[in-house]
Structure formats: C-alpha cells, structure tokens
Homo-oligomer: A and B are copies of this chain.
Amino acid sequence: MRPTVHDIAAAAGVSLATVDRVLNQRAGVREVTRKRVEEAIREIGYIRDVAAANLAKGRVYPLVFILPTSDNSFMHGLHNEVRQAMIRSGTERTDIHIREVPAFDPQALVAELERLAEEKPAGVALVAADAPEVLAVVDRLVASGVPVVTLVSDLTGSSRCHYAGVDNIAAGRTAARLLGRFLGGKAGDITVLAGSMMVRDHRERLEGFTQVMSEEFPSLNLLSVLEGRDDPDMAYALISDALGSNDRIIGIYSLGAGNRGLIRALKARHQERTLTVIAHELTESTRGALTDGTIDAVLNQDAGHEVRSAIRVLKAKADGLGFIAAQERIRLDIFLKDNLP
C-alpha cells in the first residue's frame, strides 16, 4: 500500500492537520515543523492521490481553447476534436470552452488572452499567431500561474509550458527528401504552395524544405513560393496558372491547407503530365487524392492527439505534476496510399 497523509503524520510526529497545512501550503506552521514534515514526505516517498484529492475538492479543470476562425478542413477537424473532448468533460473533470478569434490576427489573440488573465482558468491552449505582443501576454499569463500550451503552431521563446504540435522544420525537410527521392535524380522545377508566410508553422516548413532541397537535390530548382491563404479557390488558380505557364514543373509541395483547390487543378491536368506531389494534412480530399494517385504522400499531424495531449498536459501542470514526455510528443505522420488509417 502506498503511504497516505496519516503515514506522514506518524513519521513526522505531528498531527494530520499540520501535515495538511504543509501539503496545501496553508499558513500557521513554524518553519522547523514545515521542514520536518517535508523531510518525512520525501523519506517515505509520499505521493498525493490525485483522484482522492480531486474528489474531496470537487475539482474541475476549467480549460480554454483559443482557436482561429478558419474554414479549412484541418481547423474544422481541430474544432471537432475539442468538441469531442468537451463531451468527455464529465468523466475527465474538465470544463472546456472554445474561444474563436480571427485567423492571422495577433491583436485579437492578445485581447482574448488579456480577458483570460482575469478569468483565471486552470489552463489555456492556443493556436499561436507569431507576434511579440502575443508572446508578451502569454508570458504574463504563465507568470500569473495559468499554464499555457501552444497548439499546432508554437511560440518560440515564450514561457509556454508545452507545444502540442509537430516539428515543422523536420516536416519540411522530410517533405523535401521524399520529393527528391521520389523524383529519383530527375531535373526540373518544384513549386511550393503555402498558406501564408505570416504564420510560423508555414515559414518553418518552407525553411526545412529549402534546406534539404538545396543541400541534397541540386538538380531540382525551387520556384518562388505561392501563397494561397489556405483557400481552395486561390490554390486552384495559382496552381493552374503555374502549371499552364511552366512545363518544367515536376513536383509540388503543398505545405498549407486548402488542398481541395490544388487537387482540382491537378486533376484537370492529369492526362497531360506526371507530377510528384506532397501535401499536408490528411482530410477527406487529400485522402481521396492519395488513394487515386493524384498525391504521392501526405504529411499529417493528428489533431485528436494534439487536443488530448494539450488537455493532459494542462491538467498535470495545474496540479503541479509532470507528464510522460514521450507520450506527449506529437509525431509527424507520413501517409502513403498503403498506410492510411
């Protein structure tokens, strides 16, 4: 049987009440006594039974997810996963709220975060827009005792407790190597379709992609990046144009969302040429394109894992506990048509 508060009391030669005061950092304990109790805790290896404690406290974890208002499939999926988590709130002692803010809008994010500094939830998860103001508010929130986790896109240099998302530089590098190897030494042009260079995750993917391309596949020539704002129609127009005006293009890397448009453009030119295409985020449309051969590989981050991980980490942090790092690492999924879930 693992030791309980009673065992600490006995070991330290004090009463249960005193142990409680020490454990819950209440006032009214002399420094010497406090030391003695803490020593006893360490010695007998007491670990608080979080379940019992939560029961006694009637604790729930009020968590806030700040998500961008965005109509691409990935963000829809993310929203949906948070909603799934809300359904499980009853059994998980969470009380989850979603706050929507306009995408690519640091000011709105800051305003929302400042509001949260008042509310003092048990934890905050946000899709970070990469701006110094945001970093500053996040730091303030964390300093005031509210654990913050970044989701999908990180906020490097901030004091956020955890990042529940993939390593986007690694993702870009992986995409480059896959594309390069799939093209097997051929020479030609490569087009990159991004959402916006204003968001960190897209910038990082491009960075990684460019690194490996220039280092290891000199026969492939990177064209200037197309920015499709994660919008299907814009993506369609950009890719159609590019393919129409340049017949040296042999590969495409779509590192953002809005792949419906990309796929539409590719299908329109299907008979004319063979392209090697790598895209991000597994959605209904990319899955279809992967199956029928329009796309060769899809890199994915599992939104469900990200959300569940964020929740686990925030709960742990709220209790001042650690977490299993390996479990919370969000992996880059690589899907070919053969290993689709």
Across the interface, A329 reaches (CB within 8 A) one of B176, B336, B341, namely B341
Q: How far is the CA of A85 from the CA of B223 in the complex (A)?
A: 50
CB-CB contacts below 8 Å: A259-288 with B: none
Given contacts A51-B51, A90-B47, A339 and B171 within 8 Å (CB-CB): yes
Residue A332 at the chain B interface, CB threshold 8 Å: yes
CA distance A315 to B139 in the complex (A): 39
- Interface size counted on chain A using CB atoms at 8 A: 44
A336 in contact with B177 (CB, 8 Å) = yes
Which of B170, B305, B326 is close to A304, meaning CB atoms less than 8 Å apart? B326
Would you call A333 an interface residue if the criterion is a C-beta within 8 Å of the partner chain's C-beta atoms? yes
CB of A337 within 8 A of chain B? yes
One complex includes copies of this chain to the number of 2
Report if A198 contacts B (CB, 8 A): no
Q: Which residues of A, 290-304, contact B by the 8 Å Cβ criterion? A: 296, 302, 304
Q: Do the beta carbons of B327 and A332 come within 8 Å of each other? A: no
Judged by a CB distance under 8 angstroms, whether A245 is at the interface is no
Please report which residues of chain A, range 152-191, place their CB below 8 angstroms from some CB of chain B when the two chains form the complex: 167, 170-171, 173-174, 176-178, 181-186
Residue of B nearest to A321 (CB): B91
Query: Could you give, for residues 307-341 of chain A, a 1 whenever the CB lies within 8 Å of some chain B CB and a 0 otherwise?
Result: 01000000000000000101101011110111101
A52 at the interface (CB under 8 A from B): yes
Counting CB contacts under 8 A, is A50 at the interface?
yes
- Answer yes or no: A23 CB below 8 A from chain B CBs: no
Does A26 sit at the interface, judged by CB under 8 A? no
B50 engages A91 (CB within 8 Å): yes
A170 to B296, CA, bound (A): 16
Asked whether A338 lies within 8 Å of B173 as measured between CB atoms, the reply is yes
CA separation between A183 and B296, bound complex, in Å?
15
Interface residues in A106-162 by Cβ distance below 8 A to B read none
- Decide if A22 is an interface residue (CB 8 Å cutoff): no
Contact partners of A232 in chain B: CB under 8 A: none
Determine the distance from Cα of A304 to Cα of B91 in the docked complex, in whole angstroms. Answer: 25
Taking a contact as CB atoms closer than 8 A, the residue among B326, B329, B336 that contacts A174 in the complex is: B336
Knowing A91-B47, A331-B333, the reply to whether A177 touches B54 (Cβ < 8 A) is: no
Whether A256 sits at the interface, judged by CB under 8 Å, is no
CB pair B331–A341 under 8 Å, yes or no, is yes
Is there an interface contact between B185 and A2, defined as CB atoms closer than 8 Å?
no
Residues of B within 8 A of A208 (CB): 338
Residues of B within 8 A of A91 (CB): 47, 50
Candidates B50, B183, B308; contact of A327 at CB < 8 Å? B308
| Assembled-state Cα–Cα distance A302/B329 (Å) | 12
Given contacts A50-B91, A55-B55, A173-B339, 7 further A-B contacts (CB under 8 A): A167-B339, A181-B181, A302-B326, A305-B327, A329-B341, A331-B341, A332-B339
